[in-house]
Each structure stands twice: as structure tokens, then as C-alpha cells.
């Protein structure tokens, strides 16, 4: 595991409860890395500590475009048709 040092003055200036710092920072990092194409959805949502549904909702709330591959589309179509 890699640790990122964040100066205490920056942590203290965050406008969220101290108890939420880690979760918020992980979510923000996961969303930014996903948006830039650095992380796929699975690893990004694990970093964020959210379910797939929660991660997708957060992408929608922030108007972040989902990276949707042709393979995912085919799987979704097959699922909708009852083939999976």
C-alpha cells in the first residue's frame, strides 16, 4: 500500500468533518482517475469503497462520462435478452 502525505493545514482547511476525510479523498481520487482513463471502473470503485451502483450514481451526479466498451454493451444486451 502506498501512502500519500497531505499537510495537516490542508486537511484542516477541508470543509468536511475530519471523520470523513479519508472516504472523501478516496472518492475524489477514484473519480478523477476514472475520468482521465487511468483507472477502469472496477478498480476505481474499489478505491472509492463504493458499490458499482453507487459509483455509477456518483458519475451521473457529476456528469462524468462512463467508459463503456463494446464488450460491456454486448454483455448488457445478452443479459437483457436473458442469455446470461
Contacts of 43 (CB under 8 A, 6+ apart): none
Q: For 43-76, b where at least 16 C-beta lie within 10 A, e where not — what string?
A: ebbebbebeeeebeebbeeeeeeeeeeeeeeeee
Note the pLDDT of residue 83. Answer: 65
Residue with cell 479519508: 22
- pLDDT > 70? residue 76: yes
Q: What is the pLDDT of residues 45-69, one digit of tens each?
A: 999 999 989 999 999 999 999 987 8
Give me the sign of the Cα torsion angle 77, 79, 81, 84: positive
Amino acid at each position: 500500500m502506498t501512502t500519500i502525505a497531505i499537510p495537516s493545514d490542508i486537511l484542516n482547511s477541508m470543509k468536511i468533518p475530519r471523520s470523513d476525510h479519508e472516504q472523501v479523498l478516496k472518492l475524489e481520487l477514484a473519480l478523477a482517475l476514472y475520468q482521465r482513463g487511468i483507472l477502469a471502473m472496477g478498480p476505481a470503485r474499489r478505491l472509492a469503497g463504493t458499490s458499482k451502483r453507487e459509483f455509477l450514481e456518483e458519475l451521473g451526479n457529476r456528469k462524468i462520462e462512463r467508459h463503456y466498451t463494446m464488450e460491456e454493451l454486448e454483455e448488457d444486451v445478452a443479459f437483457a435478452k436473458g442469455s446470461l
